[in-house]
């Protein structure tokens, strides 16, 4: 499904959804520099920091019509439109952003920034460490979801925004949205949380562990100092194949591939089935566009996230929130962030008098449903924003 930078956070071969009517058209990724940097949750201070972002629509006179869209693990700030007329596909959530779409740019100022630690324009492990003149590599400080949100907070202030009409996130993006409402409660009017959770589960951490070990064990990893050399492509491809499986569902895999055999493998072991060829293709595509160190850092940020940390319960933690409304949506076939985790969010929000619309959407696409089921999600988002 995903094509180009930031468009591979879902099953690459699920239906491509492109809707031209209402498109934001040709857009550009911009950046802002924070020369003094910012303190991080781990105690270090990272400086300088560059933040890549895109905006769509216009900020109103009251500076309170902004919607902040948070992206998932390996996406980018490029949510909507095309960077060039000949782009093969638009931004990763293009179907949701534009005139007449869920996030209507005739009414709202839509913002998305690339995550701290990523490799699509915001400072991360592949950025140059001014102290050494070389990429940070594993010298980059450990980062958290909270650090990502702290950087975004500075960005939205630089853009002149005074209040966020909504903070929206799917998957890891939902964790950032939750953190926004906890760290900066006076900023957030409403939350839209899709296929996400308040914390990483042991299952998720275990899956990440296998991918991390594949990267660290690649002979080309070189302790993270592989820039300018052959990268740890094999380990990164394995990590991505494993992660990619978690985005899919058993039903979709049967429908798409079944047990159909791949072209004969001379060795008879490596690739016997079409699903294996598909995963190999996804691994190759990912290696071409993403940095292995960034993948490690972002996986660990997910693993460390727990919105209830330091509090007796999630409901206790959510007492810090001041948002009035929320939409929480899960998908029937999502086993990466299953519905029970969305229900935990709903219960904690309602315990703190937040007006929550909760939905489990029937879908065959697994975790990737949040990128593909735009027709089912759009009316839910519109209802919240209209209210």
Domains in the chain, number = 1
- What is the CATH number for 156? 3.40.50.1820
- Edge-to-edge strand order for the sheet containing 30-34? 30-34, 49-56, 109-113, 66-70, 164-170, 190-194, 325-331, 355-361
Indicate which residue of 23, 118, 171, 294 is catalytic.
171
Strands 128-129 vs 66-70: parallel, antiparallel or unpaired: unpaired
Tokens of 70: 């948070």
pLDDT score at 15: 47
Q: Is there a domain that residue 2 lies in? A: no
State the DSSP code for 137: G
> Is residue 209 assigned to a domain?
no
Residue 275 placed within a domain:
no
Query: What is the predicted pLDDT for the residue at 270?
Result: 84
Question: Which residue out of 118, 367, 368, 374 is catalytically annotated?
Answer: 367
Is residue 272 situated within a structural domain?
Answer: no
Is 367 a known active-site residue? yes
Residues forming a β-bridge with 39? 45
Indicate the pTM of the whole model. 0.93
Between CA 382 and CA 219 the distance in angstroms is 50
Copy the structure tokens of residue 220: 């080309």
Classified as helix, coil or strand, 191 is: strand
Does some domain include residue 41?
A: yes
Q: What is the mean pLDDT of the chain?
A: 94
pLDDT at residue 3 tops 50: no
Asked if residue 118 is part of any domain, the answer here is yes
The answer to whether residue 256 is domain-embedded is no
Place of tokens 């009251």: 62
15 compared with 385, residue with greater pLDDT: 385
| Structural domain containing residue 183 | 30-200+306-386
Active site residue 23: no
Q: What percent of the chain has pLDDT over 70?
A: 94
pLDDT on residue 18: 52
Task: At 5, list the tokens.
Answer: 């930078």
Q: Is residue 14 part of a domain?
A: no
244 classed as catalytic: no
Percent of the chain with pLDDT over 90: 91
Catalytic choice (147, 189, 334, 368): 334
């Amino acid at each position: 499904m995903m094509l180009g930078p930031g468009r591979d956070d879902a099953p690459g071969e699920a239906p491509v959804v492109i809707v031209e009517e209402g498109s934001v058209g040709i857009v550009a990724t911009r950046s802002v520099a924070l020369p003094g940097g910012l303190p991080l949750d781990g105690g270090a201070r990272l400086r300088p920091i560059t933040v890549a972002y895109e905006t769509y629509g216009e900020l109103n006179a009251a500076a309170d019509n902004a919607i902040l869209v948070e992206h998932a693990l390996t996406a980018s700030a490029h949510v909507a439109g095309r960077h060039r007329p000949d782009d093969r596909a638009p931004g990763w959530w293009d179907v949701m952003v534009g005139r007449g779409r869920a996030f209507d740019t005739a009414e709202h100022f839509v913002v998305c920034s690339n995550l701290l630690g990523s490799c699509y324009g915001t400072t991360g492990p592949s950025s140059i460490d001014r102290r050494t003149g070389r990429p940070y590599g594993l010298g980059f400080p450990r980062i958290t979801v909270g650090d990502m949100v702290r950087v975004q907070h500075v960005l939205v202030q630089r853009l002149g925004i005074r209040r966020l009409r909504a903070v929206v996130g799917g998957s890891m993006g939902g964790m950032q949205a939750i953190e926004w409402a906890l760290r900066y409660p006076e900023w957030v009017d409403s939350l839209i949380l899709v296929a996400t959770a308040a914390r990483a589960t042991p299952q998720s951490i275990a899956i990440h562990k296998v991918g991390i070990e594949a990267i660290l064990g690649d002979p080309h990893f070189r302790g993270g100092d592989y820039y300018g050399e052959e990268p740890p492509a094999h380990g990164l491809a394995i990590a991505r194949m494993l992660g990619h499986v978690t985005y899919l569902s058993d039903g979709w895999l049967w429908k798409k591939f079944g047990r159909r055999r791949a072209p004969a493998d001379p060795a008879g072991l490596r690739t016997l089935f079409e699903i294996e060829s598909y995963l190999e293709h996804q691994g190759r595509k990912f290696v071409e566009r993403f940095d292995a160190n960034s993948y490690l850092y972002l996986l660990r940020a997910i693993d460390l996230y727990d919105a209830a940390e330091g509090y007796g319960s999630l409901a206790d933690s959510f007492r810090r929130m001041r948002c009035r409304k929320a939409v929480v949506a899960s998908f029937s076939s999502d086993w990466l962030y299953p519905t029970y985790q969305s229900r935990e969010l709903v219960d904690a929000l309602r315990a703190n008098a937040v007006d929550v619309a909760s939905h489990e959407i029937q879908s065959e696409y697994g975790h990737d449903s949040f990128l593909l089921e735009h027709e089912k999600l759009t009316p839910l988002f519109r209802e919240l924003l209209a209210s």
